[in-house]
Structure 1
Amino acid sequence: MTKLFHPTILVVNDDGITAPGIKAMMHVMKEIGRVVVVAPDSPQSGMGHAITIGKPLRLDEVDLYEGIEMYRCSGTPVDCVKLAVTKIFKGKKPDLCVSGINHGLNNSINVLYSGTMSAAVEGAIESIPSIGYSLDDYNMDANFQHCLKYVKEIALQVLQNGMPTGTLLNVNFPNTANIKGIKICRQANAKWAEEFDQRVDPYKRPYYWLTGVFQNNDNGEDTDVWALDHHYASVVPVQFDMTAHHAIPVLHSWKFNV
């Protein structure tokens, strides 16, 4: 590294402040610079870019790991980033924001639902170089050791090179001890085909449990799904500008009768 010798790194997640994934992340980031952790007080998976409105937020400093400044937040992952920037850093932004390591993949369409990725997106909105990391293992006893060298190397590259304006990285790791390397990818055209399993509670009232099957409709060998299936770490550059620029000329051809 040549640009930053001891950067300040904001660590966030959506699995909660006690999740093993964030513990692995903070210890890797501590090898790089000063770490400040701001994480939800409970799991917030699937929260997307939700923010808390209409009720108070709590932000309490906690002492869980020696030598690491940590705060527990009652809100969403995005709330964590917003509070960190305004109340902890007081406008002097960190050099890097890393989110994760998430228990479970956030590839393809999952990026839209992910609290992990939304926290990283919020960091990028604040002009902080940001990365979201996820592992293909939903188990709370997941072993992150095989991906930690990649977590560190990708973070170092972002710190050294910066990120193009308005972008961040979505990094996913396969659940294998033999990762072949890193693939720069595009997001696959893949989605969940959801179903709702209808059940009945003890009071004979129906309730629903979300289930589904992941469907890949993309045969490309340059996608995150392909990379993960072939035991590579996938790295997808993501932008928060959701404008479909290619559709603008099409809309200009429409004849609005008003």
Structure 2
Amino acid sequence: MKKRPLILVTNDDGIAAPGIRALIEVMKEIGDVIVVAPDNRQSGKGHAVTIDATLFYNRINIDDQVTEEYSCSGTPVDCIKLAVNEILKKKPDICVSGINHGSNSSVNVIYSGTMSAAVEAGIEGIPAIGFSLCDYSWDADFETIKEHVKTITVNTLKNGLPEGVVLNVNFPKLKKEEIKGIKICRQANARWVEEFDKRTNPQGREYFWLTGKFINSDKGEDTDEWALANGYISIVPVQFDLTAHHAIQTLNTWELND
């Protein structure tokens, strides 16, 4: 009998979030599951790590059919580091992160705790996928995408990923029958135009709420934003080598050593 793969599951919405519980349900069909996830919401934390405070993790029991579950006091990246260095007895065959409540397409990948957990796993040499549904509601319907989550995960286990690459997968908020398929995409050239809502507390001190609008100026039909807007699931291969290789030749023309 073929050995079942060991699957590490994490997220940034917290270990009790409906999105990760849906992801766990799918992963139990594929392999043996170990969950290491934040004990509270860590959205927008990016690749933050805890270096100025203590870290804790606790074994918990939310799902009796999951081999092991641990809640962690730190960030999503902390969860991966603790899992690899302290909790797991061997390296997992794959790490899946999510399912995030909300989009992580385009520039959002930079801010995403969901994707940063996947990137951290990739740095550790573990094939990794971040899954996100473009629905910020806590009661989002994850049933519509479970079949696709399974398909993408099984294919990743079967085929592997190029070295230094993890997958950023986003699902449009559509009914199951409305999803047209899956497209391999590039990250759209889009950004947030941000503002701060300035207020004053009862003690007279000013405070701020970050607000803004997401602006997509990219008209390409090969982007994740185009795919999601047109009824497709987007998969963007993400690399964690941030070197702008195309700029090296230009910078070498500068007179830096004269």
For residues 247 and 159 of structure 2, the distance between their equivalents in structure 1, rounded to whole angstroms, comes to 32
For residues 48 and 23 of structure 1, the distance between their equivalents in structure 2, rounded to whole angstroms, comes to 21
Structure 1 residue aligned with 2:62, among 55, 61, 64? 64
For residues 82 and 173 of structure 2, the distance between their equivalents in structure 1, rounded to whole angstroms, comes to 33
Q: Quick check: 1:89 aligned with 2:88?
A: yes
Which residue identity is paired with 2:108?
N
Question: Residue 192 of structure 1: CA displacement?
Answer: 0.6
For residues 257 and 97 of structure 2, the distance between their equivalents in structure 1, rounded to whole angstroms, comes to 47
Which residue identity is paired with 1:253?
T
Where 1:121 maps in the other structure, the secondary structure is helix
Which residue identity is paired with 1:249?
Q
For residues 86 and 207 of structure 1, the distance between their equivalents in structure 2, rounded to whole angstroms, comes to 39
For residues 174 and 242 of structure 2, the distance between their equivalents in structure 1, rounded to whole angstroms, comes to 33
For residues 53 and 194 of structure 2, the distance between their equivalents in structure 1, rounded to whole angstroms, comes to 31
Where 1:108 maps in the other structure, the secondary structure is coil
Q: Quick check: 1:75 aligned with 2:65?
A: no
Q: Quick check: 1:47 aligned with 2:45?
A: yes
Q: Quick check: 1:175 aligned with 2:173?
A: yes
Q: Deviations over 1:195-248 (max 9, x none)?
A: 101111112221110000000010000000000000100000000000000000
Which residue identity is paired with 2:184?
I
Alignment match, 1:144? 142
For residues 33 and 176 of structure 1, the distance between their equivalents in structure 2, rounded to whole angstroms, comes to 28
Alignment match, 1:7? 5
Question: Residue 179 of structure 1: CA displacement?
Answer: 1.0
TM-score (norm 2): 0.97
**Aligned ranges for residues 88-237 of structure 1 at < 5 Å?**
88-90=87-89, 92-177=90-175, 178-237=178-237
Which residue identity is paired with 1:132?
G
Moved runs in structure 1, 4+ residues, more than 3 A? none
**Aligned ranges for residues 15-30 of structure 1 at < 5 Å?**
15-30=13-28
Which residue identity is paired with 2:232?
Y
Question: Residue 51 of structure 1: CA displacement?
Answer: 0.5
Number of aligned residue pairs: 255
Which residue identity is paired with 2:131?
Y
Which residue identity is paired with 1:131?
I
For residues 29 and 80 of structure 1, the distance between their equivalents in structure 2, rounded to whole angstroms, comes to 18
For residues 95 and 115 of structure 2, the distance between their equivalents in structure 1, rounded to whole angstroms, comes to 11
- Structure 1 unaligned runs (5+)? none
For residues 6 and 97 of structure 1, the distance between their equivalents in structure 2, rounded to whole angstroms, comes to 14
For residues 77 and 15 of structure 2, the distance between their equivalents in structure 1, rounded to whole angstroms, comes to 14
Preserved CA contact (<8 Å) 1:49 1:78: yes
Which residue identity is paired with 1:245?
H
For residues 257 and 39 of structure 2, the distance between their equivalents in structure 1, rounded to whole angstroms, comes to 52
RMSD between aligned residues: 1.2
Question: Residue 67 of structure 1: CA displacement?
Answer: 1.5
Preserved CA contact (<8 Å) 1:182 1:234: yes
Q: Deviations over 1:166-187 (max 9, x none)?
A: 0010000000112111010000
Preserved CA contact (<8 Å) 1:146 1:179: no
- Structure 2 unaligned runs (5+)? none
For residues 205 and 216 of structure 2, the distance between their equivalents in structure 1, rounded to whole angstroms, comes to 35
Alignment match, 2:250? 250
Tell me the percent identity: 62
